[in-house]
Amino acid sequence: MQYANNILETIGNTPLVKLNKITSDVKAVVLAKVESFNPGNSVKDRMALKMIEDAEADGRLKPGGTIVEGTSGNTGMGLALAAIVKGYKLICVSTDKQSKEKFDVLRAVGAEVIVCPTDVAPDDPRSYYSTSKRIGQETPNAWYVNQYDNPSNALAHYEQTGPEIWEQTAGKITHFVVGVGTGGTISGVAKYLKERNPAIKIWGIDTYGSVFKKYHETGIFDENEIYPYITEGIGEDILPENVDFSLIDHFEKVTDKDAAVYTRRLAKEEGIFAGNSCGAAVKGLLQLKNNFNENDVVVVLLHDSGSRYIGKMYNDEWMKEQNFF
Ligand SMILES: Cc1ncc(COP(=O)(O)O)c(C=O)c1O
């Protein structure tokens, strides 16, 4: 018999799928690492389980404890699956910008969800950063995960995602392209790949309204770069410790409209029903296509599934309201 002992054992080993139509005018081979194949439908299952295992190992998370995290949904889903299997309670703190579907899904897998306003400064007591920290401190036997600064986040990708990509491309990968939020995915994968071959280029996809690109290029944390935006999962108004800027060769910004349009194109042209940051990643890659030659092997990581964006990027009325058609 072949079976997993529980759902957590099915995390990882996601497929690498060649993109064809959407990348038809790109000289390189473009391969998508489709992370919606994880049981929680996103790459974040990997780091959620790793953060919990490491916290159990050093006693930060104790039996019967409560896990508290500020999450836009995908990390929450990964934490929820692990909490169910391992017997913990989970409180997810999120923002009112996120898709309603994400909250419904989290509640379906047993999490308590607290929604905070998006348009307040990170140090405002109402922000989701401050609220999740406070709940972590006030709740008995609680552990505050803090995916932004928790080193187990990037470590999960150094130990799993990076080696998978290296092996699946037989070491032929030349460029890795991925959206950046907490920075765990890009930093962990980049560290592994650059150790194997320092010539591999690591390109992070950023949004307009985020501080990453300017900080990377100038060393200046410019508050004028910060304003509300629509793209979900990438870009930040803080500098998470998990973003290792020294491993990233370039940041490329993609507009909200392009991210939404390319999310839909991925579904229609490749049959890959992926999330909003995946459209941003593919569009960012296309913006950089003049840098590729015929021998290049480009891997773009697609973070999550389209099912979480049915009411937004995959909804015609919503697209019209945003003037995205
Ligand atoms: C949909 C989506 N895209 C991209 C990211 C960014 O990944 P990372 O936090 O590893 O930088 C996240 C993380 O929250 C996400 O949920």
Query: Which residues sit opposite 203 in a β-bridge?
Result: 177, 250
Give the Cα separation of 248 and 201 in Å (integer): 8
pLDDT at 280 over 70: yes
Concatenating the DSSP letter of every residue in 272-320 gives --B-HHHHHHHHHHHHTGGG--TT-EEEEEE-BBGGGGTTTTT-HHHHH
The model's confidence at residue 146, banded by pLDDT at 50, 70 and 90, is very high
Mean pLDDT score, 139-155: 97
d(CA 163, CA 184): 15
pLDDT of residue 28: 98
CA–CA gap between residue 15 and residue 2 (Å, rounded): 19
Confidence of residue 224 (pLDDT cuts 50, 70, 90): very high
- pLDDT for residue 72: 66
The CA radius of gyration of the chain, in Å to the nearest whole number, is 19
pTM recorded for the entire structure: 0.96
The rounded Cα 236 to chain-centroid distance in angstroms is 12
Catalytic residues: 44
pLDDT of residue 49: 98
Structure tokens at 76: 């929450």
Mean pLDDT of 181-186: 98
Average pLDDT over residues 215-221: 98
Domains in the chain, CATH or no CATH each: 7-37+160-321 (3.40.50.1100), 44-144 (3.40.50.1100)
What integer is the mean pLDDT of 193-218? 98
Residue 101 has what pLDDT?
Answer: 76
pLDDT surpasses 90 at 102:
no
Distances (CA, A) of 218 to 179, 214, 222, 245, 248: 20, 6, 10, 12, 14
Report whether 47 contacts 11 (CB < 8 A): no
Q: 149: Cβ–Cβ under 8 A, 6 or more apart, which residues?
A: 240, 241, 242
When pLDDT is averaged across residues 73-82 and rounded to a whole number, the result is 95
pLDDT at residue 129, as a whole number? 85
Of 167, 183, 141, 234, nearest to 47 by C-alpha is 183
User: Best mutation site among 105, 161, 234, 278 for ligand 1, i.e. most ligand atoms within 8 A of its Cβ?
Assistant: 234
Is residue 51 within a helix (H) or strand (E), and if so which, with residue range? helix 44-57
Mean pLDDT of the 8-32 span: 98
CB 14 within 8 A of CB 42: no
DSSP state of 7: G
What does the pLDDT read at residue 196? 98
Residue 256 has pLDDT above 70, yes or no: yes
Look at residue 98 in the predicted model and tell me its pLDDT.
78
Minimal-distance CA residue to ligand 1 atom 7: 181
Taking the centre of ligand 1 as the mean of its atom positions, its distance from the CA of residue 218, in whole angstroms, is 24
Pair of tokens at residue 231: 């793209």
What integer pLDDT is reported at residue 22 of this predicted model? 98
Ligand 1 atom index nearest CA of 74: 16
Residue 77 Ramachandran class (φ > 0 left, ψ -120 to 50 alpha, else beta): alpha
CA distance 323 to 231: 14
Residue for token digits 């998006």? 118
Is beta strand 142-144 parallel, antiparallel or unpaired with respect to 250-254?
unpaired
Q: What mean pLDDT is predicted for residues 229-257?
A: 97
Least confident of 49-58, 107-116, 122-131, 256-265: 122-131
The larger pLDDT score, comparing residue 311 to residue 178, is at 178
What token pair was written down for 284? 């960012």
How far are the Cα atoms of 102, 226, 258, 302 from residue 180, in angstroms, in the given order? 19, 15, 17, 11
Give the residue from 204, 192, 302 showing the smallest Cα distance to 252.
Answer: 204
Pocket of ligand 1 (CB under 6 A): 44, 72, 74-75, 179-186, 232-234, 275, 277, 303-304
Strands (E), 80-232: 89-95, 112-116, 142-144, 175-179, 201-207
pLDDT at residue 119 in the model: 87
Site to substitute for ligand 1 among 160, 273, 303, most atoms within 8 A of C-beta: 303
Residue 261 has pLDDT above 90, yes or no: yes
For ligand 1, mutation pick of 105, 185, 210 (most atoms within 8 Å of CB): 185
Question: What mean pLDDT do residues 59-71 have?
Answer: 95
Query: Of all atoms in ligand 1, which is nearest to the CA of residue 73?
Result: 16
Atom 15 in ligand 1: which residue has the minimum CA distance? 233
